[in-house]
Amino acid sequence: MSTSRNLTIGVLALQGDVREHRAMLEECGVSTIGVRRPAELAQVDGLVIPGGESTTIGKLAGIFGLLEPIRAALRDGLPAYGTCAGMIMLADAIEGGTADQETFGGIDMVVRRNGFGRQVDSFEAVVEFEPTWHDHFDYPATFIRAPYVEKVGDGVEIAATVGDRIVAVRQGRLLATSFHPEITGDTRIHELFVELVRS
Task: Establish whether 190 is a catalytic residue.
Answer: no
Single out the catalytic residue among 182, 190, 191, 195: 182
Task: Establish whether 28 is a catalytic residue.
Answer: no
What SS3 string covers the chain?
CCCCCCCEEEEECCCCCHHHHHHHHHHCCCEEEEECCHHHHCCCCEEEECCCCHHHHHHHHHHCCCHHHHHHHHHCCCCEEEECHHHHHCEEEEECCCCCCCCCCCEEEEEECCCCCCHHHCEEEEEEECCCCCCCEEEEEEECCCCEEEEECCCCEEEEEECCEEEEEEECCEEEECCCHHHCCCCHHHHHHHHHHHC
Single out the catalytic residue among 20, 28, 84, 190: 84
Task: Establish whether 182 is a catalytic residue.
Answer: yes
Single out the catalytic residue among 20, 21, 102, 180: 180
> Which residues are marked as active site?
84, 180, 182
